[in-house]
C-alpha cells in the first residue's frame, strides 16, 4: 500500500499581507426612489426633503427594531461603508433631532435625518461573472426565508474600504428580482464557510433574535499552534475592539471589553499543530483568533494575531491563508420552522495542508 505523502516537519516560520484595492467613482444622489431638491416637500416612500438634499424618513413598524447602522447600510447601497459610519460619528445622521450611536435600535415613529450622500455609479458595481457562478454553486441550503452560502475565502461579505462589491452585492446582482437579501452575520474576508443570508425582513429579525439568545449553534474548524489535546477548553475573557488611525480594526483582551466565550475541542493533533473544532458562545469581532492567541495557540496563517515563525512553517506546507472555516450552523426558526443543520465541507486547499502535515483521515472526516 502506498504510504501517502511524507508529513511536513515544522520549524522556525515573513510576514506579508497582500491587498488589492479597487478604485471607484461616485456621484451625488439621493437614496433610491428619492429626489434631492430644495424647500420642504413630501417625497416618495415617506421621505421628506428639507433643503440642500437633507431628507427625513419616518420609521415604520416593519423597519423598527434594527440597528441604525445596519438600516443605513441596507438603504444606502453603493455608499462606502466607511462613509456611512463617518456621517454617524459626525452627527450628520440624527433621530428625533438628536445624535445617536451606530448601535441605536430604531423604533416605529422615529424621524431619521439623512444627509446628502454619494453613491458609486451603477456600472462600477457589477461583480465578475466567474464570481457570480461560483456563488451560485456555493449555495448549501435555501428556502423562502433564508439561504446558507459556503462563502469562499478571499471574498469580503460586503463592499467598502476600497472594495466595489462583496458577497451580498454579488448575490443581489445574481438575483436582481429578489425583493430582499441581507446578511444575518459576518465572516472575515479570509474565513470560508457557512454564511446566513435573510430573504425577508421578518426572517432577519427572527435570526437576529436567535443570535442574541444564543440559539444558533455555529461551529468552526481551525488549525492552531502546538499540542492542545482534549477539550472542550473554554476561553472566557472580555474583548475590546479598537479602530486604528488607518481604519484597521484590532481586538484586544481587556477587562473594559465585552464578555466573550469560546470553546475549543481537539479533533486531530500532529507535530506541533492541532486541528480544533470551535464553538462560539458569543459573537465578537475576531473572537476565535484573539481567544486562541490568548490561550497560547494562535491560528495558522493569522497575520494580525498569530506567530510569524509558525506562519512561515505552514507556508512550507502549502498554507496560503488564514486556517479558519465556518464548518456548520444549526438553528430552529421560530414559528414552527424545521430544525436546520448545514455543514460546509473543509475546502480542498485546507485539506491538502492537513494531508501534508500527516492527517490521512481528515479528508474523510471533514471533506
Q: Which residues have a catalytic role annotated? A: 188
Q: What is the Cα–Cα distance from 149 to 156, expressed in whole angstroms? A: 13
DSSP annotation of 257 reads: S
Give me 95's grid cell: 433621530
Contacts of 170 (CB under 8 A, 6+ apart): 127, 131, 132, 135, 155
Residue 85 CA: distances (Å) to CA of 36, 156, 187, 273: 22, 18, 19, 40
Q: What is the Cα–Cα distance from 92 to 365, expressed in whole angstroms? A: 52
Q: Is the peptide bond before 89 cis (omega within 30 degrees of 0)?
A: no
DSSP class per residue in 111-143: EEEE--EEEE-GGG----HHHHHHHHHTEEEE-
Query: In terms of DSSP bridges, do strands 98-99 and 146-151 run parallel, antiparallel, or are they unpaired?
Result: unpaired
Under 8 Å between Cβ of 205 and 152? no
Residues in the chain: 367
Amino acid at each position: 500500500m502506498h504510504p501517502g505523502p511524507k508529513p511536513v516537519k515544522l520549524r522556525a516560520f515573513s510576514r506579508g499581507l497582500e491587498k488589492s484595492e479597487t478604485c471607484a467613482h461616485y456621484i451625488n444622489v439621493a437614496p433610491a426612489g428619492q429626489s434631492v431638491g430644495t424647500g420642504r416637500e413630501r417625497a416618495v416612500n415617506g421621505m421628506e426633503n428639507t433643503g440642500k438634499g437633507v431628507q427625513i424618513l419616518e420609521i415604520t413598524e416593519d423597519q423598527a427594531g434594527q440597528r441604525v447602522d445596519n438600516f443605513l447600510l441596507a438603504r444606502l447601497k453603493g455608499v462606502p461603508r466607511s462613509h456611512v459610519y463617518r456621517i454617524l460619528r459626525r452627527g450628520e445622521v440624527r433621530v428625533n433631532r438628536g445624535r445617536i450611536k451606530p448601535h441605536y435600535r430604531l423604533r416605529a415613529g422615529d424621524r431619521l435625518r439623512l444627509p446628502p450622500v454619494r453613491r458609486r455609479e451603477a456600472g462600477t458595481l457589477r461583480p465578475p461573472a466567474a464570481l457570480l457562478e461560483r456563488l451560485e454553486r456555493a449555495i448549501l441550503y435555501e428556502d423562502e426565508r433564508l439561504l446558507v452560502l459556503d462563502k469562499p475565502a478571499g471574498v469580503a461579505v460586503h463592499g467598502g474600504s476600497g472594495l466595489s462589491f462583496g458577497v451580498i452585492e454579488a448575490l443581489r446582482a445574481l438575483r436582481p428580482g429578489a425583493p430582499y437579501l441581507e446578511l444575518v452575520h459576518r465572516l472575515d474576508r479570509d474565513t470560508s464557510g457557512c454564511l446566513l443570508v435573510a430573504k425577508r425582513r421578518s426572517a432577519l429579525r427572527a435570526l437576529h433574535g436567535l443570535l442574541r439568545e444564543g440559539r444558533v449553534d455555529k461551529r468552526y474548524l481551525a488549525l492552531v499552534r502546538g499540542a492542545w489535546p482534549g477539550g472542550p477548553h473554554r476561553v472566557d475573557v472580555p474583548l475590546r475592539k479598537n479602530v486604528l488611525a488607518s481604519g484597521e480594526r484590532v481586538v484586544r483582551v481587556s477587562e473594559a471589553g465585552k464578555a466573550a466565550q469560546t470553546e475549543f475541542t481537539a479533533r486531530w493533533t500532529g507535530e506541533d499543530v492541532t486541528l480544533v473544532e470551535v464553538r462560539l458562545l458569543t459573537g465578537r469581532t475576531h473572537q476565535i483568533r484573539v481567544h486562541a492567541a490568548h490561550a497560547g495557540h494562535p491560528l495558522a496563517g493569522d497575520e494580525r494575531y498569530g506567530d510569524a515563525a509558525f506562519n512561515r512553517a505552514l507556508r512550507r506546507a502549502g498554507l496560503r491563508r488564514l486556517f479558519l472555516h465556518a464548518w456548520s450552523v444549526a438553528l430552529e426558526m421560530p414559528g414552527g420552522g424545521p430544525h436546520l443543520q448545514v455543514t460546509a465541507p473543509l475546502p480542498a486547499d485546507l485539506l491538502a495542508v492537513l494531508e501534508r502535515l500527516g492527517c490521512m483521515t481528515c479528508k474523510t472526516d471533514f471533506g
